[in-house]
Amino acid sequence: MRSIGRILCALGLAFSLSSCGPMAPAYAEDNCGDAKAITESLGRLDQKQVGGGVVSEQVVVVIYATPTGSRWTAVSVAVDGSACLLAHGTQWFGGLPEVPAEDERGA
């Protein structure tokens, strides 16, 4: 298994390209490592958690992005503390969903 530093170095190289696409599947060992180490490395790339969702009782997917949204990374995180880089790209446009007004919820 490659070290997380080498993975994120390659990830940073990919970010410098004008067109970024999906990475190898999450089950590839080369894209996986300790969740805390991956999160810290993404932080050094100025990426912060901006969203995510539950995949199963064992896994969540977390989206990290730069403050401007110019770069983003999707990471699957398992309850055992492992994580896998799923994809990365540019121009993140997501955000938190709007909460409907109280009268729209039928209250």
Model pTM score: 0.64
Kind plus residue range of the DSSP H or E element containing 11: helix 4-15
The structural domains of the chain, ordered by start, are 4-93 (3.30.160)
CA angle 99, 100, 106 (to 5 degrees): 135
What are the tens digits of pLDDT across the range 40-77?
999 999 999 999 999 999 999 999 999 888 999 999 99
- Which two three-digit tokens encode residue 54? 């539950």
DSSP β-ladder status, 71-78 and 32-34: unpaired
Number of Cβ within a 10 Å radius of residue 62: 20
Q: Measured at the alpha carbon of residue 89, what is the angle toward residues 24 and 76, in degrees to the nearest 5?
A: 55
